[in-house]
Structure 1
Amino acid sequence: MNREDAPEGPIIKGFRERGFLVADRYVPGGLKLTPDDARDWAATDVTELAVADVADLLAMEPPPEFILLGTGNMMARPPVAFVRAIEARGVGLEVMDSRAAARAWSVLRHEGRWIAAALLPL
Structure 2
Amino acid sequence: MKFQPDRSSSQTISGYGPGWIGVDADRITHSVVLTSGGVRIDWNCARYEDLTPAHFAQLAELDCELVIFGSGGRNRFPPPAWLQPLMARRIGLETMDTQAACRTYNILSGEGRNVAAALLLETGPQAGAAPA
What is the aligned-residue identity percentage? 31
- The answer as to 2:27 corresponding to 1:26 is yes
- Structure 1's unaligned 5+ residue stretches are none
1:1-122 equivalences under 5 Å are 2=4, 5-35=6-36, 36-60=38-62, 63-122=63-122
Structure with larger Rg: 2
Q: CA RMSD, aligned part only?
A: 2.1
Output the CA distance in 2 between the equivalents of 1:53 and 1:2: 39
TM-score by length of 1: 0.83
Greater helix share, 1 or 2? 1
Amino acid corresponding to residue 86 of structure 1 in structure 2: L
Number of aligned pairs? 119
| TM-score, normalization by structure 2 | 0.78
Identify if the C-alpha distance between structure 1 residues 115 and 96 changes in structure 2 by more than 3 Å, giving closer, same or farther.
same
Q: Does the aligned pair in 1 maintain the 2:57–2:85 contact within 8 Å?
A: no
Unaligned runs of 5+ in 2: 123-132
SS at match of 2:15: strand
How far has the Cα of 1:2 moved from its partner?
4.1
